[in-house]
Amino acid sequence: MLNKYARAFFTRVLTPFAALLLRLGVSPDAVTLVGTAGVMAGALVFFPMGEFFWGTIVITVFVFSDLVDGNMARQAGISSRWGAFLDSTLDRVADGAIFAGFALWYAGSGDDNVLCAVAIFCLASGQVVSYTKARGESIGLPVAVNGLVERAERLVISLVAAGLAGLHGFGVPGIQVLLPIALWIVAAGSLVTLIQRVVTVRRESAEADAAAALAPGGSESAQ
């Protein structure tokens, strides 16, 4: 849901910046790589130390590269299958780093094995949710479903909660509870989204198989 509206808004906002980078000779692939490296640094350096506020600030700055690189490619007329593949692949890497950072905190100084497991579940389920859509599309299905918690929702919920939880270090009492709540929400929402996509792929594949059977040359017409 957020993917649809937020992406359109920020694409318009970031278009002048994308144009500037093109004039400076920066390639879309370079933006993709730098953005992913920045997100990973913010997540795997700051989060395991409990520096959730500053980690979120760093990640937020670099996560917009996901919109800038595609914008640059469209403006330059150089959109390609390679660029789409690289962008999608590194998105998964960046997402995994964020939840790995949470898991490392709870496995270490955060000292909470349950929340460590929840963070790992968020990491794994996010990857599988993305995979189900990609795999469904690769076998010719539209996978026409808007999941409850897709990538944009996972990032917004977890990063907003982490940033606010980091204000505990500035003396705001009790606010650190927001991060565990967010992780549980993302975990539950990701599970629901996974089920939605699996059910959708099952329905669409059954419809496609039935249509193929009824088509000229199919098994029904052959009888």
Catalytic residues, which ones? 91
Residue 201 DSSP SS3? helix
> Binding residue per annotation — 84?
no
Q: Is 134 annotated as a binding residue?
A: no
Q: Look up residue 28 and give its two tokens.
A: 């879309």
User: Does 31 carry a binding-site annotation?
Assistant: yes
Q: For residue 154, say whether it is annotated as part of any ligand binding site.
A: no
80 marked among binding-site residues: yes
Contact 32, 86 (CB under 8 A): yes
Q: Please state, in angstroms and rounded to a whole number, the distance separating the CA atoms of residues 200 and 37.
A: 34
Is there a binding annotation on residue 12?
no
Is 111 annotated to bind a ligand? Reply is: no
Q: Which helix (H) or strand (E) holds 72?
A: helix 65-76
Q: Enumerate residues 6+ apart whose C-beta is below 8 A from 177.
A: 165
Q: Which residues are annotated as a binding site for a CDP-1,2-diacyl-sn-glycerol?
A: 29-32, 70, 74, 80
Q: Which residues are annotated as a binding site for Mg(2+)?
A: 66, 69, 87, 91
